[in-house]
């Protein structure tokens, strides 16, 4: 049997996580939706918008609430099913961000909220967004900044470094913080045929009363990190989890544990 590719593993991972996603990272990423939509313009009425990597559908629903005519696509069938269940009446379908089924110039806006960083070929997805946009159409996306300041990285990376290994049997992955740098986004978007690149930073956060929830969050709503942890020896895994818990407990304050995640929001116009 052929070896699983990065894309195969991501698809399997996200398909498994749809049910739990909103309890953890989905609730964090929701904070980016309104600011990202605002970067498309003040009036979204009748705007034809495609949301790629739509997950459980909340960005599409927020855009529809502002009057946009939306379509959401995601390559995980379970995410699409949940998006449809969460937002009946809206149009969600399975599809690959890197090879869209939609026709040239079909949309006024394309969004991708925390999706590009999970793609094997983000440039292909950006080229596809450009292709399906009308001239003058807007592309907006959100991505994480880090590893500095990204609290999940601050908990997980030192724990693996101290007690485990990053040298695990997985296909190479794209760097997850690549799109957190304004200058990198500007360059990639310009090469792809976009102009008027705008960026905005945003601090998102997640709070929990229980340190153990941090481990649950990692297991149930991350894909690549969970896969790296799953490939440690049982002894290493035990020590890594114990270290993450210890560091999470050290962050406990009156309001529980707060993890913050700096994000970059980017919007550009099809030239």
Ligand X SMILES: C[S@@+](CC[C@H](N)C(=O)[O-])C[C@H]1O[C@@H](n2cnc3c(N)ncnc32)[C@H](O)[C@@H]1O
Query: Which of residues 40, 47, 49, 53 is near ligand X by CB under 6 A?
Result: 53
- For residues 2 to 21, the per-residue mask of contacts with ligand X, x marking binding by CB under 6 A and - elsewhere, is --------x---x-------
Query: Which of residues 26, 137, 180, 262 is near ligand X by CB under 6 A?
Result: 26
Angle at alpha carbon of residue 228, lines to 222 and 230, rounded to 5° = 90
Is residue 240 involved in binding ligand X (CB under 6 A)?
no
Contact yes or no for 80/28 (Cβ under 8 A): no
Which stretch, 95-103, 206-214, 238-246, 253-261, contacts ligand X (CB under 6 A)? 95-103
Is residue 76 involved in binding ligand X (CB under 6 A)?
yes
The distance in angstroms from the start CA to the end CA of the chain is: 44
Q: How far is the CB of 15 from ligand X (least distance, A)?
A: 7
Is residue 263 involved in binding ligand X (CB under 6 A)?
no
Is residue 23 helix, strand or coil?
coil
* Residues within window 103-142 making contact with ligand X, judged by CB under 6 A: 113-115, 118-119
Residue 173's CB is within 10 A of a number of other CB atoms, namely: 16
Query: Which of residues 24, 71, 96, 257 is near ligand X by CB under 6 A?
Result: 96
* Beta sheet of 48-52, edge-to-edge order: 91-94, 69-74, 48-52, 107-113, 133-144, 257-270, 194-208
Contact yes or no for 192/125 (Cβ under 8 A): no
CA separation for the pair 51, 115 (Å, rounded): 10
Q: Given the complex with ligand X, which of 32 and 247 has the nearer CB atom?
A: 32
Contact yes or no for 163/236 (Cβ under 8 A): yes
Q: How far is the CB of 76 from ligand X (least distance, A)?
A: 4
Q: Given the complex with ligand X, which of 119 and 133 has the nearer CB atom?
A: 119
Q: Given the complex with ligand X, which of 17 and 243 has the nearer CB atom?
A: 17
Is residue 71 helix, strand or coil?
strand
Contact yes or no for 70/90 (Cβ under 8 A): yes
Q: Given the complex with ligand X, which of 115 and 262 has the nearer CB atom?
A: 115
Query: Which of residues 97, 110, 140, 215 is near ligand X by CB under 6 A?
Result: 97
Tell me the CA distances in angstroms from 191 to 73, 117, 126, 197, one per residue in order.
25, 18, 10, 12
- State the number of binding residues for ligand X (CB under 6 A): 20
Enumerate binding residues for ligand X (CB under 6 A).
Answer: 10, 14, 26, 29, 53-55, 59, 74-76, 79, 96-98, 113-115, 118-119
């Amino acid at each position: 049997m052929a070896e699983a590719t990065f894309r195969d593993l991501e698809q399997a991972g996200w398909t498994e996580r749809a049910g739990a996603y909103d309890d953890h990272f989905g609730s964090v990423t929701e904070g980016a939706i309104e600011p990202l939509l605002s970067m498309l313009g003040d009036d979204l009425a009748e705007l034809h918008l495609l949301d790629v990597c739509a997950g459980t559908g909340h960005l599409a629903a927020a855009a529809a609430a502002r009057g946009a005519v939306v379509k959401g696509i995601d390559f995980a069938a379970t995410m699409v099913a949940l998006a449809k269940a969460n937002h009946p009446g809206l149009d969600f379908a399975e599809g690959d961000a890197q090879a869209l089924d939609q026709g040239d110039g079909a949309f006024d806006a394309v969004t991708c909220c925390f999706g590009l960083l999970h793609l094997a070929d983000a440039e292909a997805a950006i080229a596809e967004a450009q292709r399906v946009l009308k001239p003058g159409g807007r592309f907006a996306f959100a991505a994480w900044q880090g590893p500095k300041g990204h609290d999940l990285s601050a908990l997980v990376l030192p724990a693996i470094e101290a007690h485990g290994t990053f040298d695990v049997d997985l296909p190479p992955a794209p760097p997850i913080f690549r799109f957190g740098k304004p200058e990198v986004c500007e360059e990639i978007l310009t090469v792809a045929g976009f102009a008027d690149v705008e960026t905005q930073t945003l601090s998102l956060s997640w709070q929990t009363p229980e340190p153990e929830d941090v481990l649950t969050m990692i297991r149930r709503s991350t894909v690549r990190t969970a896969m790296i942890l799953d490939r440690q020896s049982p002894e290493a895994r035990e020590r890594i989890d114990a270290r993450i818990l210890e560091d999470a407990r050290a962050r406990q304050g009156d309001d529980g544990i707060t993890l913050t995640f700096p994000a970059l929001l980017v919007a550009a116009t099809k030239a």
